Amino acid sequence: MALTKLNNQSLTAVTSAGIPIRSGNVLQVVQTVSDTQYVLTTPNTYTFVISGSITPNFNNSKILIGFSTGGLANDTSDIGIRLLRSVGGSDTEIMKRSRQGYTNIASWSSVPLDIKYLDSPATSSAITYKIEARIADGEIQIAAGGAGGDLNRMALIMSEIAG
């Protein structure tokens, strides 16, 4: 059997050569990083935090989304984050997450904010994933942490997984 060496071949060229892509293989990873700090004080209103875009190679691919950052909460009963998928400008909420228990704290408390979700968008068109956050009351500073509100970076990572 002859050995074929691939040099900088695209996924399309590799698959057209008859080399299969196995289900579950990571096809691409895209990361968006931000140093922007957000202060939320308006109750029950979602505020944009970060977004990133990925274009799947195949319409049966899955997208593994990971988001994480730190925050500081002050006297809030509920902190919520949600994940939206936008294809062709139309937003669809695909996941929500809430954290509770930051009421009646004497000072600022650190809050980890994260999402992990495996999406099945069924498209090979460009997809934008957006993270939004809200509070029930009080205040939260997103992408802040530690004494004195030191800045934390936030990251949104999108990995295309072969279907």
Question: First CA to last CA across the chain, in angstroms?
Answer: 28
Which residue segment(s) compose the domain that 141 sits in? 22-161
> Residue 63: which CATH number?
2.60.120.1340
CA distance 128 to 30: 11
88-145, pLDDT tens digit by residue?
Answer: 989 999 999 887 766 655 567 778 888 999 999 999 999 999 999 998 888 888 886 5
Residue 99 falls inside a structural domain: yes
Rounded to the nearest 10 degrees, how much is the dihedral formed by the CA atoms of 39, 109, 81, 33? 70
CA distance 39 to 135: 10
CA distance 138 to 74: 6
> What pLDDT does 1 receive?
45
DSSP 8-state assignment for residue 21: P
Are 144 and 150 in contact, with CB atoms under 8 Å apart?
A: yes
Q: Residue 63: which residues within 8 A CB-CB, separation 6 or more?
A: 54, 56, 118, 119, 121, 127, 129, 158, 159, 160, 161
More confident of the two residues 97 and 160: 160
Burial of 99 (0-12, 13-18, 19+ CB in 10 A): middle
Report the Cα 42 to chain-centroid distance in Å.
Answer: 23
> What pLDDT does 13 receive?
52
Residue 43 falls inside a structural domain: yes
Read off the amino acid at residue 64.
Answer: L
Residue 37 falls inside a structural domain: yes
Q: How many domains does the chain have?
A: 1
Residue 12 falls inside a structural domain: no
> What pLDDT does 102 receive?
62
27-40, pLDDT tens digit by residue?
Answer: 999 999 998 889 99
Whole-model pTM over 0.75: yes
